[in-house]
Structure 1
Amino acid sequence: MSGCESVLSTGRLEVRGGLRDAVLYTVAFWVFAGALWMDVWFLGGVLDRISTESMNVHVDFDSFWRSARALLGGGDIYDAGARLVNLNPPVWTVLISPLGLLEALDAYRLFVLLSVLGVIGYLAWTAEELRLRSAWAVVGSGLLLLSSPLLSTLALGQVYPVLTLGLVAAWISDRRDDQRLSGVALGLVVALKPSLAPVLLWPLVRRRWDSFSAACVSGLAASLLGFVVAGPSATLRYVGILSEGSANPYWDNASIPAAMARFFTEHPYGQNLFTLPWMVYVGYALGIGVLVLTAVRVRDGGEAGLWALVAASLLVSPIAWHNYLVLLGPGILLLLARGRGAPALLLLALQAIPAQWVLLWNDERTIPATFALTLYLYVLLAHWAVFFFAVGPANVDPGAAKA
């Protein structure tokens, strides 16, 4: 009887799994269809943003370039005349300082070229490490290269491809049991983007002490480099900029605290539900809860653990622009390699929705429009949930690890 019950239980699980995948495939199909419809109208504009010669469009890179110029000229790297405040630490300016020797547009084009090569490189590296079937590697990598977050990242000239390369290096080194190299890569990522500091929980909760120690040392060393080269005043100014940060209610901000600010505080971007400013702190509490839950989930290992923690870090952050989804792309290739095609395709479909989604609702100052314009939070939550439930016992092919 126990054997029959086991067979029936297995059968029920397979049926449920089949139904779940059918639902996910259906949703993914219609999301892809909607994204394609919007791309017909807006894709040309996206490509124009990348190719334009106006640095007013490439505003993030413009702030980086002006900071690099200021560093080379002995000026203030956080007051270099840029339209946007440079939100990256001094060490980032030090690393890209050679670009300050070029004219702004030439430097931007070189940066985009290096970013694209970096993205192709880490996607190919991930696919090779996972021994991903060629068809899935082409489909997954191709859709990620054409994804809305990456195209917008390239247009603005943002740092996310560099950070993703560091995360992939940390993740693959961990798979190959090179704990120190994994920690060094992870520490450098955190040094370049301190808001990703919660990813240090990945080695900590799994008791990878060599990796955690290496991450702390490399992160501090990189920060010290910025402190010495850019000067103590630049570091103090950056700390001040961080302390002034808050949950920006703008539509592109996908974090939980930002959504609470959108729904419960007055802002110029749309209609809030109620005016309850303290709900922003509830948002931080919810985000911390998600982070703690994720850390507990990954403590016993699992290939998707790092990507689940990255997603949780974005959910709890004051600012997590939609373009941050670039950081989670390699995790989607992992899902494809492990036979989770339905959720992987759903995430690829969600990343295909163009940034111009907001144009469909931006003129409507209504509560339904506010919910619609909070789409990016739902997209980020979907990534976190998929990676969270994909976390399981580590199952690394020794042959793959040595390849």
Structure 2
Amino acid sequence: MDKRVLRGLDLLLAAVAAGVLALSFWLNVRFGEVTLERISSDSMRVHVDFETFWRSAEAFLRGEDVYDTGATLTNLNPPLWILLSSPLGLLEPLTAYRTFVLVSLTATVGFVAWSAGEARLGGGRAAAVAGAVLLSSPLLATLALGQIYPLLALGLVASWAAWRRGHDRVSGVLMGLVVAVKPSLAPLLLFPLVLGRWGAFGAALLSGAAATLVAAAVVGFGATFEWIRILLESSASPFWDNASLPATAARLFTENRFARPLALLPGAIPLAQLLGVALVALTALRARQDPEAGFWALVAAALLASPIAWHNYLLLLVPGVVLLLARGRVAVATLLLALQLIPPQWPLLWQQGTALASLMLSLYALILLLHWAALLPPRPSSP
């Protein structure tokens, strides 16, 4: 592409990023910054995801049902996470939550610094990325709710770094463990498969299966079957924070209480699921052209195809943004980081029940799609 055209596109992206930053600042001024207050709150009802984990951990230590604990939310996490998080059940709920926040912050700084070091990103730019991530809506909301995404991101970076250094089996083991904790990332197992890294693929399958079986044996096979039943009965939530393709289809094309449907299309959700599978397949094939970026593009595709991909999952794609920045795609990376700064007050602007409002409430889905598109390796060049 002509250099003048590329320069023009970069200027356009930079202008959009500046507009997004101004919008984020205005939203915080207009509605107030509430997420920091939620993080400092003493009420476990605010830290609702962590409350779910903590109650399951406490129930496990007491020998009680780990999936029927009276928590506000249903625990969708596998027995492996209950086993790993069980030490938190030894602490009082608020103390456990604050400990988990510190661990999450440490993991966040760690995965940003690690990915920046692997990508050979300069210290100044790495610090700027870290600052943007620490102020981002996905991280602040993750801390407030007590979610596990920083730990997952750290595990993904560890697997990616091991693969880059030629440690295929170590990479596979780490990948399998991450998938065992968060099965919606299972499409990532296609990464070593399409690259023909059989050692990494086998190690991923074995480590994931072994960790799952050990957790099932320790926590209880009955609990494992209960978790599977819960997953099978769950569906794509049309809540505006759910950025996956099936969730967006549910929000825009079915009756729901979060947005006015643009039209009623009975087959919209299955079609969105098929589209998600197609995106995963396309991304896996393209990953062979640029495995470094393809790894993160496949993570993005897995989120798009999943029934649930909360906006906070964008933390998992920050290392991919770091890679784009290290490769000189400054305008694209800056725009993606700016989009992550849009606060959760955004939906408050769109409560009119109009078609435009429904589309605007799907902004988080667009942001996830843009991350995927930016990370997707290009088509192979013609001979």
Same fold (TM over 0.5): yes
CA contact (8 A) 1:257 1:280 kept: yes
Matched, 1:142 2:120: no
**Alignment counterpart, residue 246 of structure 1, candidates 225, 232, 235:** 235
CA contact (8 A) 2:283 2:298 kept: yes
**Alignment counterpart, residue 38 of structure 1, candidates 20, 24, 27:** 27
Q: Greater Rg, structure 1 or structure 2?
A: 1
| Paired position in structure 2 for 1:193 | 182
Cα distance 1:255–1:170, how it changes in 2: closer, same or farther (>3 A)? same
| Paired position in structure 2 for 1:333 | 322
How far residue 186 of structure 1 moved from its aligned partner, in angstroms, is: 0.4
Matched, 1:58 2:29: no
Alignment of 1:166-205 (within 5 A): 166-205=155-194
Write the distance in 2 (CA, Å) between the matches of 1:392 and 1:144: 33
Which runs of no fewer than 5 residues in structure 1 stay unpaired? 1-11, 394-403
CA contact (8 A) 1:90 1:227 kept: yes
Matched, 1:318 2:307: yes
Instruction: Give CA-to-partner distance per residue, 1:358-392, whole Å, 9 cap, x none.
Output: 1111x311111100101011000100000014798
Write the distance in 1 (CA, Å) between the matches of 2:217 and 2:340: 39
What SS does the corresponding residue of 1:149 show, helix, strand or coil? helix
Q: Which moved more, 1:341-350 or 1:39-48?
A: 39-48
| Paired position in structure 2 for 1:121 | 110
CA contact (8 A) 1:72 1:100 kept: yes
Write the distance in 1 (CA, Å) between the matches of 2:332 and 2:289: 23
Which residue identity does 2:152 align to in structure 1? L
Cα distance 1:165–1:390, how it changes in 2: closer, same or farther (>3 A)? farther
Alignment of 1:3-402 (within 5 A): 13-42=2-31, 44-361=33-350, 363-389=351-377
What SS does the corresponding residue of 1:304 show, helix, strand or coil? helix
Write the distance in 2 (CA, Å) between the matches of 1:233 and 1:226: 12
Write the distance in 2 (CA, Å) between the matches of 1:226 and 1:345: 41
Q: Which moved more, 1:231-240 or 1:135-144?
A: 135-144
Write the distance in 1 (CA, Å) between the matches of 2:318 and 2:134: 9
CA contact (8 A) 1:199 1:309 kept: yes
CA contact (8 A) 1:254 1:380 kept: yes
How far residue 43 of structure 1 moved from its aligned partner, in angstroms, is: 5.6
How far residue 302 of structure 1 moved from its aligned partner, in angstroms, is: 2.8
CA contact (8 A) 1:206 1:301 kept: no
What SS does the corresponding residue of 2:42 show, helix, strand or coil? coil
CA contact (8 A) 2:289 2:378 kept: no
CA contact (8 A) 1:304 1:391 kept: no
CA contact (8 A) 1:298 1:391 kept: no
Write the distance in 1 (CA, Å) between the matches of 2:67 and 2:226: 7
Write the distance in 1 (CA, Å) between the matches of 2:170 and 2:362: 38
Q: Which moved more, 1:41-50 or 1:346-355?
A: 41-50
Q: Which moved more, 1:34-43 or 1:336-345?
A: 34-43
What SS does the corresponding residue of 2:291 show, helix, strand or coil? coil
What SS does the corresponding residue of 1:91 show, helix, strand or coil? helix
CA contact (8 A) 1:246 1:318 kept: yes
Write the distance in 2 (CA, Å) between the matches of 1:289 and 1:367: 27
How far residue 44 of structure 1 moved from its aligned partner, in angstroms, is: 3.2
How far residue 42 of structure 1 moved from its aligned partner, in angstroms, is: 4.7
Q: Which moved more, 1:39-48 or 1:89-98?
A: 39-48
CA contact (8 A) 1:301 1:392 kept: no
CA contact (8 A) 2:254 2:264 kept: yes
Cα distance 1:60–1:197, how it changes in 2: closer, same or farther (>3 A)? same
> RMSD of the alignment, in Å?
1.4
